[in-house]
Amino acid sequence: MGPRTRFTARGAVRGPIFGDRARIGPAGVPPPAPRRYLVPPLSGPQGSRSGSVAPRQARPGPSSDPVTMTPAVRLVVGLGNPGSEYAGTRHNVGFAVLDHLAERLDTLFRGPSKLDSWSGPRGFQWARADVPPDAEDAPEGVDDANGEPRPAFLLKPGTYMNRSGDIVAPVARYLAKRGELAALPSEEPVPADAPMVPDPASILVVYDDMDLDVGRLRLRPHGGHGGQNGMRSIIHRLETDGFPRLRVGIGRSGTDAARHVLSPFSPSESEDIAVSVAQATDALMAWMGGTDLADVMTRFHSRWNQSL
C-alpha cells in the first residue's frame, strides 16, 4: 500500500494515518449548575440484533441532576486492538481518531502508572487536555475565544476489542469518584468504598462500523452495539447503552467480516478515511468544548452530508 494522507494541526501530510501513540463564583453567588444531557427512552426488544437495553435511570433523590464539578470532564474513548500487527486496520479507526485528537490538543498519551491514585486494571493509554470553548456555540455577537477551557479525558483501552468494557467502566467510575466526571445521584449516602455511577451522557465512544460506507460518519446519543464487540462489552460493563457514540464507516465485506475488519484500507480508501478522521476530530472538539450533543449532531451531520 502506498503512503496515505493524514491531517494534523498543521495541515495534511503524507504518511500513515494511524499512530500508537470546583469552580466557585464570587462571594454570595452560587456556581452555575452543570449541564445535563437527557437521554430519551429506547424502543425495540432487548434481544434484537442491536442489543438495545433501556438506558439506566437516575436513582431518585433530592436532586435529579448529575453530581459533578463545574465544568465536568468529558470522556472520549477510541476503540481498537493493541499491537503493531493491528495498526492501520479498519478495526483500529477509533484509535486513529483519538491519536489525531491528541495531536490537535497538543497532548500525549501515557500509561496507567502515570494516573494519580489508579489501582484498577492495567493496559490502556490516557491523556488529559483543556479544550477551548466551542466558538461556533457562543451566542451571536459574543466572542467566546477567551472563555474557560473545558477539561477532557482521552482513553484508548489496551485490551482486545471484545474486552474494551473492562477498561472503560472502571476508568469512568474512577473519574466519577474523583468528582471529575458527572455521576448519577443516589437517594442514600454513598459509602466511601462504593463505586460511583457515571453519567453516561458524559462518555462518548468512537468506533468502526461496517454498516456505513468507508469514510461516512454518524453521531448518536444512545443505541445498541450493532454487532460491534467493543461496544457490546462497554454496554455490558456500564450497564447502559445510553451514552453517545461516533461511528466511522469502514464498509462491508463480501464474505468474511472478521477478516475484513482486520484488513488495512486500500490506497483510495485511505484518502477518504484521512478526511473522515479530521472531520471526526472537529466534531469531538465541539462536543468537548461544551456544545450540547444535539447541536453538534445538527451542525456536523449537515456538513458531512454536503461533502458526499
Q: Which sequence positions are flagged as catalytic? A: 91
Distance CA 253, CA 155 (A): 29
In sequence order, what are the residues at sequence separation of 6 or more whose Cβ sits closer than 8 angstroms to the Cβ of residue 102? 21, 108, 109, 127, 129, 154
Identity of the amino acid at 231: M
Q: How does DSSP classify residue 119?
A: -
Identify the CA nearest to 39 among candidates 20, 55, 24, 63: 55
Which helix H or strand E contains 115, and what residues bound it? none
Instruction: Return the closest-CA partner of residue 238 out of 293, 181, 288, 285.
Output: 181
Alpha carbons 172 and 242: distance in angstroms, whole number = 14
Query: How many whole angstroms separate alpha carbon 233 and alpha carbon 57?
Result: 20
Q: Which residues contact 74 (CB under 8 A, 6 or more apart)?
A: 131, 150, 151, 152, 153, 202, 204, 287, 288
